[in-house]
């Protein structure tokens, strides 16, 4: 007796099917968190499991779609690890509009562009961290929330000050 395996569907079909399950899950999540001021991801995950596990057709489709991707991703990663001695062998760095260059193939101008982009992203992240520290210092108790003291517009103004390295006096006048 010869057994044959069903050929894998073309990637486009898999992507279309995965998108259908993703849209259903996305819509369900949007409906659950739309009016919440806080979301506990672990509880949301547990609720999703309870909700979707009741639909056998959805579970089967979700399993097939995601297992295909998972197998390809893991197999590709394992294969790549057997060929790569360092992360820099395969690292593609963003070096300007629509360009990515392997680190080992980068020229001076590529390195300068990559450095500038990474420093800008880093400054933005540090500015947000500084904003959070500043705002936290204005909350007197554990029960207070940011919205008790600041509007979204005030936070935007404060972030702009932090991003440009503004003075403490500027920060105080915006709060």
pTM of the complete model beyond 0.85: no
Q: At residue 167, does pLDDT exceed 70? A: no
Per-residue pLDDT tens for 91-113?
888 888 778 888 999 999 999 99
- Measure the CA–CA gap between 164 and 127, rounded to whole angstroms: 9
- Which residue carries 């197998």 as its tokens? 71
Per-residue pLDDT tens for 120-152?
999 999 999 999 999 999 999 999 999 999 999
Query: Could you give the percent of the chain with pLDDT greater than 70?
Result: 80
Per-residue pLDDT tens for 7-55?
555 555 555 555 688 889 999 999 998 888 888 889 999 999 999 999 9
Domain residue extents for the chain = 9-83, 107-175
- Are the CB atoms for 154 and 174 separated by under 8 Å? yes
């Amino acid at each position: 007796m010869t057994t044959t395996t069903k050929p894998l569907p073309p990637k486009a079909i898999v992507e279309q099917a995965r998108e259908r399950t993703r849209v259903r899950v996305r819509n369900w999540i949007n409906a659950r968190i739309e009016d919440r001021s806080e979301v506990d991801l672990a509880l949301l995950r547990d609720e999703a499991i309870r909700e979707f596990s009741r639909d056998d057709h959805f579970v089967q489709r979700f399993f097939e779609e995601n297992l295909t991707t998972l197998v390809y991703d893991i197999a590709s990663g394992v294969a790549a690890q057997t060929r790569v001695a360092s992360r820099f062998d395969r690292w593609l760095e963003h070096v300007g509009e629509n360009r990515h260059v392997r680190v080992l193939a980068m020229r001076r101008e590529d390195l300068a562009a990559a450095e500038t982009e990474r420093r800008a992203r880093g400054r933005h992240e540090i500015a947000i961290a500084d904003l959070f520290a500043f705002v936290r210092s204005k909350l007197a108790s554990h029960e207070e929330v940011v919205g008790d003291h600041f509007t979204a517009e005030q936070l935007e103004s404060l972030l702009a000050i932090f991003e440009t390295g503004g003075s403490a006096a500027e920060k105080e006048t915006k709060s």
